[in-house]
Amino acid sequence: MRDFEFESPKSISDLCDALSTHGEDAKIMAGGTAMMLAMRQRLLSPVRILSIAHIPEMQGIGQDEAGHLHIGAFTTHTAIAESVLVQKTHPMLAKVAGGLANWQVRNQGTLGGNLCYADPSTDPPGCLMALDAKLVLQSSSGLRTLRMQEFCVDYFETAIQSNEVLVSVVIPPLPLGAKWTYARHLKTPADHRPMANLSIVSWLNENGSKKFRIVVGAGTPLPLRLIDLENTLSVEKIPRGEIANLVHNTSEALPTLSDARADSAYRQRIFGVLLERHLPEHLV
Ligand SMILES: Cc1cc2nc3c(=O)[nH]c(=O)nc-3n(C[C@H](O)[C@H](O)[C@H](O)COP(=O)(O)OP(=O)(O)OC[C@H]3O[C@@H](n4cnc5c(N)ncnc54)[C@H](O)[C@@H]3O)c2cc1C
């Protein structure tokens, strides 16, 4: 690992000033679980590390009057999993945070670090897309808010600029009576990272029609909402016997990853199995 300067700003505005001053030389560090590995492998060699561990505005979980959940980017997976508020308002996210990686990573790794690293083999991005979350970014020029679909750009790539920091994640309340599913596939029980995952939120809207947010992730370069499938399910009552066919056609068209863990066709098949297994509970 190469030598680096280390700075620990105490406020978001100090952090943004440091990002503007040092430009591409500076790199934000949260829990360091992803970054230290990348630095040891020399995939990253920052000249200056800006730790966000001592910025109170980026920590903790709260709820506003409209029921939106606000999670500071420097909130660990364990804190999210153990939050009584998250368990009550968004149990899907609590389940995801409590089931990813291992104890060490959950205790040290943060939600913001997970999202900004944009490793596809992760759990929160797809879940947050299905929950319709928004991300609040700040730079010395001000704030901007992006939906998950806008934030996730490509494989290991997000819309965040080098002078910006992810401050928080904002999640709207679940629609009344919403059902949710989060399912992940590991190649072996010893694996930590998902090879494929599926997030579904469904609910009845005011006119009695069914609405869906269906997202696949981990096996695709970035989480993807299956809009065509959502629309089909919203307008048609699909007989049980036809679900397998519909799911097969959907999963065969997915732009899945091919790597040392599994090839693209295998991942498409896994998505098909996950969808076939979990969609029916949302169709009743
Ligand atoms: C053994 C292992 C198993 C894992 N298994 C899983 C798994 O099963 N599921 C899963 O979802 N994840 C898994 N992960 C990934 C883990 O969730 C992430 O490593 C962790 O959440 C990253 O958070 P961090 O705070 O440590 O980020 P860091 O390592 O500190 O930072 C990661 C990146 O994000 C940037 N960054 C961090 N915070 C911000 C911010 N607020 N604004 C802008 N940029 C920022 C950093 O500059 C860096 O590029 C695993 C990791 C390991 C090491």
Q: What is the pLDDT of residues 214-259, one digit of tens each?
A: 999 999 999 999 999 999 999 878 887 888 999 999 999 999 999 9
Q: For residues 138 and 241, which has the higher predicted lDDT (pLDDT)? A: 138
Which of the listed CATH numbers 3.30.390.50, 1.20.120.80, 3.40.50.2000, 3.20.20.70 matches domain 179-282?
A: 3.30.390.50
User: Mutual orientation of helices 227-235 and 240-252 as an angle, nearest 10°?
Assistant: 160
For residue 184, the ligand 1 atom closest to its alpha carbon is 8
Q: Is the CB of 32 under 6 A from ligand 1?
A: yes
Helix segments in the chain, DSSP class H: 12-22, 35-40, 77-82, 84-89, 91-99, 103-108, 111-117, 124-130, 148-151, 227-235, 240-252, 264-278
**pLDDT reading at 15 higher than 80:** yes
CB 220 within 8 A of CB 254: yes
Determine the residue of 7, 35, 51 to mutate for testing ligand 1's pocket, defined as the one with the most ligand atoms within 8 A of the Cβ atom: 35
User: In the chain, what's the furthest Cα-to-Cα distance?
Assistant: 62
The model's pLDDT over 156-214, given as tens digits with 9 standing for 90+, comes to: 999 999 999 999 999 999 999 999 999 999 988 888 899 999 999 999 998 889 999 99
- Point out the least confidently predicted range of 15-19, 22-26, 73-77: 22-26
- As its CATH architecture, domain 5-52+60-171 has 2-Layer Sandwich (3.30)
Query: Which structure tokens are listed for 112?
Result: 């913001």
Q: What letter represents residue 65's amino acid?
A: E
Q: How far is the CA of 109 from the centre of ligand 1 (A)?
A: 6
Domain(s) labelled CATH 3.30.465.10 in the chain stretch across 5-52+60-171
Q: How far is the CA of 103 from the centre of ligand 1 (A)?
A: 14
Q: How confident is the model at residue 262 (pLDDT cuts 50, 70, 90)?
A: very high
